[in-house]
Amino acid sequence: MAALGSPLRTLRGLLRELRYASGGPGRHYRDTPAYQHLVAAFRAHRVTSEKLCRAQQELHFQAATYLCLLRSVREHTALHREYHGKGERSPEEVAGLVGFRLPQQPGGKG
């Protein structure tokens, strides 16, 4: 199993993905229930000097898995938006994409 890293790094990554998903700079992601739940869950499962939380590793693993899912979905959407076909193109448009021009037909038809 790969190393998980620190829980703080995982939390920051989750909050970054939440910020990306919230829309833009005008919308505040800190007002969302998802933000409040994430912060509350990480605070409830931290290790203190009084107790050793057994579920911390489980929470950290689930959070890291969810972070991987969110990041992968965002990257997939960006790749799909960039490379997805735009429908059928005309021969003139395809020739222009590769730098060619179609020959003109005699009689002004082309």
- Which tens digits make up the pLDDT trace of 18-66? 888 887 666 788 888 888 998 998 888 776 655 665 666 788 888 999 9
How many helices and strands in the chain, by DSSP H and E?
4, 0
Rounded Cα–Cα distance for residues 58 and 23 (Å): 30
How many Cα atoms occupy the beta-carbon half-sphere of 91 within 13 Å? Answer: 5
- Which tens digits make up the pLDDT trace of 68-84? 999 999 999 998 988 78
Rounded Cα–Cα distance for residues 46 and 55 (Å): 9
Q: How confident is the model at residue 1, as a pLDDT?
A: 45
Tokens of residue 87, six digits: 């429908």
pTM, two decimal places: 0.63
> In terms of pLDDT, which residue wins out, 22 or 100?
100
Task: Name the DSSP letter for residue 75.
Answer: H
Segment (H or E) for 72: helix 56-83
Rounded Cα–Cα distance for residues 57 and 95 (Å): 57
